[in-house]
Amino acid sequence: MINGMDGLRVLHLYHDILENGGVENFLLNVCTVLRAAGVYCDVTTTAFASNDYFVDAIGEMGYGYYQLNKNKKNFVKGCRDTIKRLPAFLRAHRYDIVHVHSCSPIQSGIIMRILRRNGVRRVIHHAHLSSENMGASLAFKWRIKRLLGVPLMGGIPVLNLSPSRAAARSLFPAKVFKAGKVEYVPNAVDTGKFAFDEIVRANMRQELGIGVEEILVGHVGRFDVPKNHSFTMDVFYEMLRRRPACRLVLVGEGAQEAAIRQKAARLGLQDKVIFYGATNEMERLLQAFDVFLFPSLFEALGIAAVEAQAAGLPCVASTNVPRQAVLCESTIQLSRACPAGEWAEAILKTRRAPFDPAALKAYDIRTVAAEMQGFYESLSVF
C-alpha cells in the first residue's frame, strides 16, 4: 500500500505488449490521478513490457508491475503461461477490483474464464480496439477470435467500458452491446500539458531543423497496419509536388518501420522525412507541428488525434476515426477512398484556429479519473 493508505486495491490487467501507445498512456494518466485519491493500482501484463519508461513510472508511484508471460514471442505458450500463472497470482495478491484492458476477444475470453473459476466477482472489461474497417484478412481473423472468445466471457458480473461504440461492438457479446450495457469513457489526456506554447514550439522546431517557412506535418502511431503509414507517404509525396517547403515527422516504432523507410527512399523522400522514434514528451513535440495527419484504417478512438487537438493543431483524419475524437472545427475528416492528392490539398489549406478548451473537458484526465473512481467505488459495495 502507498504510505499506509487503506483505499481500494485495483489490478489493471492488460493482455498485450506494453509499449508507448494509447492504452499505456491512459493507464499512466489515470493511475497518477487516482493515486492522490487513495486508490492503489497494480499493473500486470500477460505479454511483456517493451517500454521501460512505463514500468519505471508505475514503480515511482509506489505501484507494482508484474509480468505473467515468460514466452514473449510464442502466442500459444504465452496463453499457457497466463492460464498457469494468473490463478496463483490472484491468490497471492488480493484486489477489490480487476480491470481488464482488452485488445483481443479470445484473450479476453480466456482471462474472464480464469477470473470466474477463481472467484473474482468485481470485474471491469475495457475495450481498446475496434475491428471496424479492417481489411478482409484481418476482419476474418477477428471473427474467428470472437467465435472462440465471446462464449468464454459469460457467467461473471462485469462492468463493460469502451471509448467508442465501434470498439464496444467489436469486443463485447452482441447481446451486451444491443442491450446498452456499456459505459462510454474516453481515453484520458492531461489537457493542461498540451496547451500551445510559442517558446516550446520555437525550441522544438530548431531541434528538428525545421525552417521558418517550412510546413511540418506530424503523424503519431505505431508502425503497424491500422495506422496506414504507406498512405501517409503517398499523401506527403503529393504535398511536396504542390509545395516543396514541407517536412514530415513520423513518431513511433513498430514492425513496419523498415518497409516505410524503404518506401520513403523509393519516392525520394528520405531527406524530407524524420523518423523520430518513440517519445515520452509528446506534449513538447506536438508544439512543433503545423498540422496533424491521421489517416488510420481503424481506431477504437484515436487518442493521438485528441492530444493533437489539445495542442491546438488542425487535424486531417480519416472517416475511420470515430466522430467522438473530432473536437475542434479545424479538424476535418476525409474518406480513405479519396486520392492522396485530395488529402494533400486539404492539408495545405488547413490553418490553426481558436477553439474552446471546454470541448476537451470530457477527455481531461481529472474528469475521466473521477469517472473511473466512481465506477470502482460503485463496484466495491457489492
What's the number of CA atoms in the CB half-sphere (13 Å) around residue 365?
A: 20
- Lowest-confidence segment of 78-82, 209-213, 250-254 by average pLDDT: 78-82
Instruction: Walk me through the domains of the chain, giving residue ranges and CATH numbers.
Output: 9-188+364-380 (3.40.50.2000), 191-362 (3.40.50.2000)
Please name the residues in contact with 133: beta carbons below 8 A apart, sequence gap of 6 or more. Answer: 297, 298, 320, 336
CA distance 209 to 216: 11
CA distance 227 to 260: 12
**pLDDT tens digits, 106-123:** 889 999 999 999 999 899
Burial level of 266, CB count in 10 A (0-12/13-18/19+)?
A: exposed
CA distance 359 to 376: 26
The pLDDT assigned to 264 comes to 97
Residue of 129, 133, 103, 102 lying closest to 295 (CA atoms):
133
**pLDDT tens digits, 272-315:** 999 999 898 999 999 999 999 999 998 888 889 999 999 999 99
Decide: 289 and 256 in contact? Cβ < 8 Å.
no
The pLDDT assigned to 381 comes to 65
**pLDDT tens digits, 157-172:** 899 999 989 899 999 9
Which grid coordinates belong to 247?
A: 517536412
Q: Is 184 helix (H, G, I), strand (E, B) or coil?
A: strand
| Ramachandran region, residue 114 (left: φ > 0; alpha: ψ -120 to 50; beta: rest) | alpha
